[in-house]
Structure 1
Amino acid sequence: MSTSQEPASGPWWKYGHMWLVVSGPAIVVVAGFFTLYLAISRPDPVYTDAQRVVATRQQPGTSSTPATLAPAMQARNHAATGGVPGSQRP
């Protein structure tokens, strides 16, 4: 007569693969809180149009007129709205 014994199961923290399963999400949660800390402690500066005008005046050697910026403005507007300014659709 053979007696079969089931192997004794140990506590969950003694299994290495369990730590692999738990450590991935735990690291992501810790990284999320660290990112939240960075976002709250170092906010981005707020830029206004007045600061941009002063900055463009201070750059030497630039004689840009609004006409030279027209292609860039049209491309920006087209990317933002999906339409080309001045074109009429039938």
Structure 2
Amino acid sequence: MVWLVVSGPLIVVIAAVATAVIAIRGADLVITEVPSSVPQSGEVQADTPAMAARNHAATAAP
């Protein structure tokens, strides 16, 4: 019975250490450059009409 009490938390600790090692070794690099395909703040986005229709439908009729 003691092995159940000891092995449960031990498995959790081993899994946590393994997860931390995988997370640290497999960390992605930070991207600092903005890709040219991302629309800037002044450009019109493709979903503008959908957003306007959604906002119009959500407002009450005058």
- Give the alignment's TM-score, normalised by structure 1: 0.40
2:58 matched to which residue of 1?
A: none
1:21 matched to which residue of 2?
A: 5
Give me the whole-angstrom Cα distance separating, in 2, the residues matched to 1:29 and 1:69.
47
Matched, 1:67 2:51: no
Equivalent position to 1:31, from 15, 22, 26 = 15
2:31 matched to which residue of 1?
A: 47
Residue type of the partner of 1:24? G
Residue type of the partner of 2:7? S
Runs of 4+ in 1 over 3 A off after TM superposition: none
- 1 or 2 for the larger relative contact order (CA 8 Å, sep ≥6)? 2
Residue type of the partner of 2:14? V
Residue type of the partner of 2:26? R
Q: Where in structure 2 are there 5+ consecutive unaligned residues?
A: 56-62
Q: What is the CA distance between 1:23 and its match in structure 2?
A: 0.7
Number of equivalences: 46
RMSD between aligned alpha carbons? 2.6
